[in-house]
Structure 1
Amino acid sequence: MNTTSDDVLHALKPAIDRMPDPAGRAEAAALEAELATVHGVRHAIAVSSGTAALHTALIACGISPGDEVLLPAATVIMTVAAVTAAGAHPVFVDAAADGRGIDLADAAAKTTERTRAIVPVHLAGRTDGLLELAAYAQSVGLHVIEDACQAQGSSTRGRAAGTVGSIGCFSLKDGKIISCGEGGYLLTDDDTLAARAAAYRTHWLTPAPHAPAASRLGMNYRLAEPLAAIARHHLAGLDQALSRRREQARLLYSLVGETPGITMHAPVPEDTPNGYSALWRIDLDRPRDFSTRLAEIGVANSVGTYRLRAAHQHPACQDLNPAPCPRATRAVDRMLAVSLQSQTTDTELHHLAETIRREARTWAASR
């Protein structure tokens, strides 16, 4: 959905007019009600970022120091940061044999008496194996906290990403399907978890079951009113924004076609991705270098541009004593997730596709 500066200023006016009210959060409250309705859940809690959403969700689920949380090794570092911020220990789980989702056998092997939750991460808007993972978690009594920050509008077997587990966490950062520059939110049907999350994000100034107001420490993770107003403005165009992203992904897939060394990472029939990124597997030599080359010449992608790597290999995670996760390493290194933006024109998509095709041919011929 294309948005002009006049559109944003119009959306901001009600929030600006109420700014003298120090306790006012009418825009955030309205956003929460609208998010809950759109996603078909009982509660939405607006917060200041996607990372804040994850941290708040972990606290709401009772995660505390000494606990362990299972994470896919194929994740972004922000998910790991949220777990450590809660005082828990991240345990990285390898990818499934086909590179999609979490290996349930490895998850089971790494589940201990200290494990309290599992956090599936829907990279590039994909929800691979989510329902099977949720079934495993239920069988062993673990919370599922979905990192759906890249998965607004994705679904699996008709169930929306972020509504399968105990809590779903989303980002409103620029570039997401719905954004306001910076922000996030949580979704849940659990009244107790919602109350805890709402209390934690505002210094526990509101009560939760068995935890009266001011009885615990919390954080200032409130979403600012002007940002909530922008998010509401964009949320009204969610269907249009999803349609545009999916059209962009389909066009880019069609234009890249069957380029040697680049294989489309097609979703399984039961999943409907949101088009957050167009996704391929790189079958060329030195795939990370190839992604870097694409980034250098204008094809923004997760590995080349944002330096995505399997979390257990990230320098910041080495003090966590992570176990090797070779399939996750291979899956991330060979991932070509091309970033899409709603304002990207079809002409620009044609240029991106031609660049990918040309560089893949050149790379294969020179090595």
Structure 2
Amino acid sequence: MALLAQVVASMPDPTSREQAALLEAELATAHNVAHAITVSSGTAALHTALVACGIGPGDEVLLPAATVIMTVAAVVQAGARPVFVDAGPDGGLLDLADAAPKITARTRAVVPVHLAGRCGDLDALTDLAVRAGLDVIEDACQAHGSRYRGRLLGTVGTVGCFSLKDGKLVSCGEGGYLVTDNPDLAARAAAFRTHWQTPAPGQPALSRLGTNYRLAEPLAALARCSLARLDDTLTHRQQVARHLVELVGDLPGLAHIPATADEQPNGYCALWRILLPDPRGLCRRLADVGIVNSVGTFGLRAAHLHPACQELHPAPCPRAERDIDTLLAVLTPEDDQRVDQIAALIRNEVQAW
């Protein structure tokens, strides 16, 4: 609170970015990368990353149909066309066999989305991207602290994008950031998020249009406090997710979705596959009794079915549709006392359904 009071007291200075600069240095260290750029939201991080990669009108971007609408919005905001890729037959969020034939001369990037801190086979995806000359822009907004074969998610591709919204493992209410080892990309991202007032090398100030995606100083201060607790938060959320799965136990019609051998998820969500009639209805019922989950609470659906995406004339992605419609992704609580209550509610509602 003392730090926040100090920041608020200094806010008449319109040029002060001390807290944002300190946060960027601490984020770069935490992710073991050269550069971190703070912005105003996770969606802003994705939009900024796309622009910094030179993606714009006429370009195409591959992304999983099994994603949140915010990922799609960022691609459209950049002026590019999202091309949806079906989920894999083994439950992976992005099927490379479906992605490969969708690559055209206009394809510039692929955006793997690490929903619930999971990621699939990133090595195979990276290999495909390298062969096709595509940037890999990781949507790691739900993946703080998750790892793939020991590597932090968000640091595997060209650039990683994160959210600081409440509920994330690092949060300040609202905000975001991107991480990269590419100095030119970082400079373009920093220029874009502040109307190109701080220009990238070789480009004069205000020589290009940007936007205002700056992270407010009080939010940066809050994020610094949250980041300092990340190791403890990560351990706690992983423990809570495991405990919740253990308490729910074996139920007819509900199958736990374990991480693969290559994944070390952050415990953002506990995941199950629903094998009962009207699984979306069950998710809504669970939301009604206070269990925060992706489908029932936030209305997650495969992007190609989202009403806002119909003007994009998306191709069907049946496996993504099935996987999302039967997914129970329960946001793990920070309060240990809630775990027993949530587990009991899940058991009661599933058995009644």
TM-score above 0.5: yes
Which residue identity is paired with 2:51? I
1:52-91 Cα distance to aligned partner (Å, 9 max, x none): 0000000000001010000100000000000000000000
Residue 133 of structure 2 aligns with which residue? 141
Contact persistence 2:93–2:320 (CA under 8 A): no
Contact persistence 1:11–1:233 (CA under 8 A): no
Residue 360 of structure 1 aligns with which residue? 350
Answering whether residue 99 of structure 2 is matched by residue 107 of structure 1, we say yes
Task: Work out the CA distance in 1 between the residues paired with 2:6 and 2:188.
Answer: 29
Cα drift, residue 328 of structure 1: 0.2
Contact persistence 1:101–1:130 (CA under 8 A): no
Contact persistence 2:39–2:177 (CA under 8 A): yes
Q: Normalising by structure 1, what TM-score?
A: 0.95
Which residue identity is paired with 1:121? V
Residue 20 of structure 2 aligns with which residue? 28
Higher mean C-alpha deviation, range 351-360 or range 330-339: 351-360
Match of 1:305 among 280, 289, 297: 297
Cα drift, residue 22 of structure 1: 1.3
Unaligned runs of 5+ in 2: none
Q: Normalising by structure 2, what TM-score?
A: 0.98
Cα drift, residue 134 of structure 1: 1.4
Task: Work out the CA distance in 2 between the residues paired with 1:14 and 1:157.
Answer: 41
1:29-70 Cα distance to aligned partner (Å, 9 max, x none): 000000000100000000000000000000000001010000
SS in 2 for 1:121: coil
Query: Where in structure 2 are the equivalents of 1:276-291 lying within 5 Å?
Result: 276-291=268-283
Which residue identity is paired with 1:197? A
Task: Work out the CA distance in 2 between the residues paired with 1:194 and 1:224.
Answer: 19
Contact persistence 1:94–1:106 (CA under 8 A): yes
Query: Where in structure 2 are the equivalents of 1:190-209 lying within 5 Å?
Result: 190-209=182-201
Residue 246 of structure 1 aligns with which residue? 238
Higher mean C-alpha deviation, range 58-67 or range 96-105: 96-105
Cα drift, residue 18 of structure 1: 2.1
SS in 1 for 2:298: coil
Task: Work out the CA distance in 2 between the residues paired with 1:211 and 1:87.
Answer: 22
Task: Work out the CA distance in 1 between the residues paired with 2:2 and 2:296.
Answer: 37
Contact persistence 1:173–1:182 (CA under 8 A): yes
Residue 257 of structure 1 aligns with which residue? 249
1:206-235 Cα distance to aligned partner (Å, 9 max, x none): 121342221100000000000000000111
Which residue identity is paired with 1:335? L
SS in 2 for 1:13: helix
Contact persistence 1:276–1:340 (CA under 8 A): yes
Match of 2:63 among 71, 87, 111: 71
Q: RMSD of the alignment, in Å?
A: 0.9
Unaligned runs of 5+ in 1: 1-8
Cα drift, residue 122 of structure 1: 0.6
Query: Where in structure 2 are the equivalents of 1:141-290 lying within 5 Å?
Result: 141-290=133-282
